[in-house]
Amino acid sequence: VLSYRLQLCVSVPVAEVVGVEEGQVEVLPHKSVEDTDRDFTVFYVKRSSSRTTSGLLWRLGRTQFTCPSRVLRDQWTKHLRTALKTHSPLRPHRLLVFINPFGGKKKGRQIYHSLVAPVFELAGISSHVIVTERANQARDHLLKKDLTGFDGVVCVGGDGMFSEILHGVIGRTQQEAGLCENDPAVTLQSCPLHIGIIPAGSTDCVCYTTVGVIDPVTSSLHIVIGDSQPLDVCSVHHGPGLVRYSASLVGYGFYGDVLAESEKRRWMGPFRYDYSGAVVFLSNRSYRGTVQYLPADPLMSSPRDKTRYEWVSVDGRFKSVSLTCMSSSCAKSPLGLSPSAHLADGTGDLILVWDTNPLGFLTYLYRHTTTQDQFDLPFVEVHRVKAVRFTLAGGEETEDSEGLHGAMDGGDGAYVENGSIAGSQQHLAAGANGQMMTCEDKTMSPFTCGLCCSKAPAVSVWNCDGEILPFPEICCRIHGQLVRLYARGIEDGTFLKDCTEERDECNRTCIPPR
């Protein structure tokens, strides 16, 4: 589509045309239509630079055309609409939308109706909207209800809501394929439904990492033009069964403790993470454990057999153990937990932060907020991996640790709902002589137990994409490209020297540098 404006040429790829309307039309912030015979309006993706974000904000661009006659106008609109259909096969026609009305600042409904629905309508998408009334409603719907005719699922909420949708679409796909999700060795089937994320949560880490900005309009534009971004997913197993899937962080120690603390302070809203982060930092904890990992780097494989990888085992005391399938960027940490992690390479990054003094750990944390390398510290190591096991060190193994190895070797068992398997609430506290002993209050999490026993806890919990897993011993496997999002990763581009457009007006190739 070409238009001439002040003798400047605006070139818009057909793939980024959102819709075509007869007359002089506006959509955002309010719809207005002036129904004239010879005019039509083309809506398209327009990039705008913003210094406060790591990616590019997309806006709904709009250009009006006037034709010599109505007949010619109708020909233009017809041909443009046909071009859109044939050019972008992944554009959705029908979407299932789940809105969490309680996520983040509780603005999910408002965000959807004022900013997203008008864009969907313009693109001719029909949406079936469900405002959830309870946690896990979206997951259960996706697992059980008829999904015929839907091209994708849209999640209006935060990482927790995304996680529900993730579990729904993965679970449904494996059910239909007759595959056992409990077995970490099984190759899972990738999901046919695309997932779109409209950010309306507290951290919105998956959206930030896959789109580059937290912005509902940008996300809705990625959805309507049918962008497709595959994503690695990590399955987390405990004993004989699958516990959860994770797209961003599986973290023990610091991140587990921050989550456990912050759950008690949900009323604080998104600030709960900062407050709890400070509380946990000041408590200066570290935890013993054995981490085993399967390196993804082929150079590490056995010299006798280049296709076989060997498990590597490290044992010690850690401030934190984190596994992330993607960079896990968010507003607090724009480059993320592991800045060069890839979204869809079938690997995860394992970050081991060994026990260190508080200043060292603060330096590590602080570097997440800057461009300084947080891995370039003597007590930090990072490995690109395909799978990870965590066990309590030496004599500290719990009764469940046997099953862990069984599961990794292909054992089967029952699906574990939300990490609440029988016996898993049993936890350990440090005895006076440093040995482990069972806490008497079995109703409390290990973290709380540490406080009620007024001793530093010997075990932490896992933070799995913002959900607590109350048992320390788990094994994880990365599944390459298990789901697809309506996204394209963080756009990187160079500002072309000969671009004549104003920066904010520049489209497609002339992307201002970050």
Ligand X SMILES: CCCCCCCCCCCCC/C=C/[C@@H](O)[C@H](CO)NC(=O)CCCCCCCCCCCCCCC
Number of residues that bind ligand ATP (CB under 6 A): 21
In the bound state with ligand X, the residue whose beta carbon lies nearer, of 362 and 414, is 362
Q: What angle do CA 144, 126, 214 make, to 5 degrees?
A: 85
Residues 448-507 that bind ligand ATP (CB under 6 A): 466
Helix and strand totals (H; E) in the chain: 12, 23
Instruction: Examine residue 332 and tell whether it contacts ligand X (CB under 6 A).
Output: yes
In the bound state with ligand X, the residue whose beta carbon lies nearer, of 59 and 332, is 332
**Distance of closest approach, residue 137 Cβ to Ca ion, in angstroms:** 29
Instruction: Yes or no: say if 427 and 459 are a contact pair by the CB < 8 Å rule.
Output: yes
Residue 339 CB-half CA count within 13 A: 14
Binder among 278, 414, 452, 496 for ligand X (CB under 6 A): 278
In the bound state with ligand X, the residue whose beta carbon lies nearer, of 182 and 248, is 248
Rounded to 5, what percent of the chain is helix, strand, coil? 30, 30, 45
Q: How far apart are CA 231 and CA 326, in angstroms?
A: 8
Residue type, 187: T
Instruction: Examine residue 275 and tell whether it contacts ligand ATP (CB under 6 A).
Output: no
Instruction: Yes or no: say if 232 and 479 are a contact pair by the CB < 8 Å rule.
Output: yes
**Distance of closest approach, residue 160 Cβ to Ca ion, in angstroms:** 21
- The tokens describing 467, both together, are 């959900």
Instruction: Yes or no: say if 286 and 214 are a contact pair by the CB < 8 Å rule.
Output: no
| 275 contact, one of ligand X, ligand ATP, Ca ion, none, CB 5-8 Å limit per kind | none
Of 457, 437, 55, 467, whose CA–CA distance to 260 is shortest? 467
CA 63 to chain centre: 34
Catalytic residues: 159
Instruction: Examine residue 100 and tell whether it contacts ligand ATP (CB under 6 A).
Output: yes
The interaxial angle of helices 272-283 and 254-263, nearest 10 deg, is 130
Binder among 125, 337, 341, 407 for ligand X (CB under 6 A): 337
Instruction: Yes or no: say if 40 and 77 are a contact pair by the CB < 8 Å rule.
Output: yes
In the bound state with ligand ATP, the residue whose beta carbon lies nearer, of 272 and 484, is 272
- The tokens describing 98, both together, are 């789940």
Instruction: Mark 154-193 with x for binding to ligand ATP (rule: CB under 6 A) and - for no binding.
Output: ---xxxxx--x-----------------------------
Q: Which of the ranges 11-19, 26-34, 170-178, 270-278 carries the binding residues for ligand X, by CB under 6 A? A: 270-278
**Distance of closest approach, residue 290 Cβ to ligand X, in angstroms:** 24
Sheet of strand 17-22: strand arrangement: 17-22, 39-48, 57-66
| 146 contact, one of Ca ion, ligand ATP, ligand X, none, CB 5-8 Å limit per kind | none
Which residue's beta carbon is nearest to the bound ligand X?
Answer: 277
Interaction site with Ca ion (CB under 5 A): 232, 325, 342, 345
Instruction: Examine residue 226 and tell whether it contacts ligand ATP (CB under 6 A).
Output: no
Helix (H) or strand (E) holding 210, with range, is: helix 205-211
Q: How far is CA 347 from CA 32, 80, 124, 248, 326, in A?
A: 48, 41, 37, 12, 9
| 104 contact, one of ligand X, ligand ATP, Ca ion, none, CB 5-8 Å limit per kind | ligand ATP
Residues 151-190 that bind ligand X (CB under 6 A): 159
Which residues of the chain form contacts with ligand ATP (CB under 6 A)? Answer: 100-104, 132-136, 157-161, 164, 201-204, 466
Which residues of the chain form contacts with ligand X (CB under 6 A)? Answer: 159, 203, 205, 248-249, 255, 258-259, 273-274, 277-278, 281, 328, 330, 332-333, 337, 365-366, 368-369, 463, 465-466
